[in-house]
């Protein structure tokens, strides 16, 4: 027996940290693959080859392909939160924060290629699973609706503060804004349109400036 807490092998604390980091690497790679090839493109062989692991090593962290897909969804949601929502969360609630959030969302779709090389992860996942049942489809829907609630919340605050007309329907407006970003993702990914971000900003201005 060596020094206290050391028996010549990896300590339990270090082992747990290594396992956690390996799991994070698998999720990061799964998100990148999923944004390009869809969640069905997540195969044990592909991940093992990309990460220099065995198939059993990848499977050991999740237990099933469905568990891996769910982990990728939550990983992508966490990345979106850190990249888009957290930088503007402390802005003044209402129209100020809403505009900052919408601008951060545009920049995310326009420029974020390291984490999401294939564009919006959730646009791809919703198209892939919208006609299917099961936990993956339900999680895609739940995470997208959670994001829409951020819009609705600030829209309601903006209406109450007189920043938007009293008759503004927050749910309808959030629906329209979400549609803009689905279109923006398509314009960038499918058509490589350099004017799509500017067009999106003009459309947002029409939607959000009525009560200014």
Question: How far apart, in whole angstroms, are the C-alpha atoms of residue 50 and residue 21?
Answer: 16
On whether residue 5 sits in a domain, the answer given is no
Which single residue is written with the structure tokens 């407006």?
173
The contacts of residue 114 (CB under 8 Å, 6+ apart) are none
In a domain, 2, yes or no: no
Contact 201, 180 (CB under 8 A): no
Q: Write down the pLDDT at residue 5.
A: 44
**Which pLDDT does position 211 carry in this prediction?**
47
Counting every residue, how long is the chain?
212
Mean pLDDT by 10 residues, the chain (212 residues): 47 77 93 91 90 91 92 95 96 97 94 84 93 95 95 98 95 96 94 96 91 46
- The residue segments making up the domain with residue 177 are 12-208
**Residue 7 located in a structural domain:** no
In a domain, 120, yes or no: yes
Quick check: is 179 in a domain? yes
The reply to whether 1 falls in a domain is: no
In this prediction, residue 1 carries a pLDDT of: 43
Confirm whether 149 is domain-assigned. Answer: yes
User: Residues 174, 176, 182, CA angle at the centre, nearest 5°?
Assistant: 105
CA distances from 47 to 11, 40, 84, 114 (A): 27, 12, 27, 17
Rounded Cα distance, 42 and 32, in Å: 10
Number of domains in the chain: 1
Rounded CA-CA distance 108/138 in Å is 24
* The pLDDT value given to residue 163: 96
For the domain that residue 199 is a member of, what is the CATH number?
A: 1.10.357.10
Structure tokens at 1: 């027996």
Does a structural domain hold residue 128? yes
């Amino acid at each position: 027996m060596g020094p206290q807490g050391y028996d010549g092998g990896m300590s339990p604390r270090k082992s747990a940290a290594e396992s956690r980091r390996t799991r994070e690497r698998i999720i990061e790679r799964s998100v990148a693959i999923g944004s390009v090839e869809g969640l069905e493109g997540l195969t044990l062989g592909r991940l093992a080859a990309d990460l220099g692991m065995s198939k059993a090593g990848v499977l050991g962290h999740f237990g099933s392909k469905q568990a891996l897909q769910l982990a990728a969804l939550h990983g992508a949601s966490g990345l979106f939160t850190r990249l888009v929502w957290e930088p503007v969360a402390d802005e003044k609630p209402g129209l100020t924060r809403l505009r900052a959030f919408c601008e951060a969302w545009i920049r995310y779709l326009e420029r974020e290629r390291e984490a999401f090389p294939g564009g919006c992860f959730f646009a791809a996942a919703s198209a892939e699973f919208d006609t299917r049942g099961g936990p993956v489809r339900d999680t895609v829907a739940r995470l997208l609706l959670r994001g829409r609630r951020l819009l609705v919340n600030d829209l309601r605050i903006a209406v109450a503060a007189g920043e938007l007309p009293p008759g503004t329907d927050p749910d309808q407006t959030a629906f329209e804004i979400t549609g803009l970003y689905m279109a923006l993702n398509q314009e960038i990914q499918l058509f490589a349109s350099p004017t799509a971000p500017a067009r999106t900003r003009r459309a947002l201005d029409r939607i959000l400036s009525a009560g200014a």
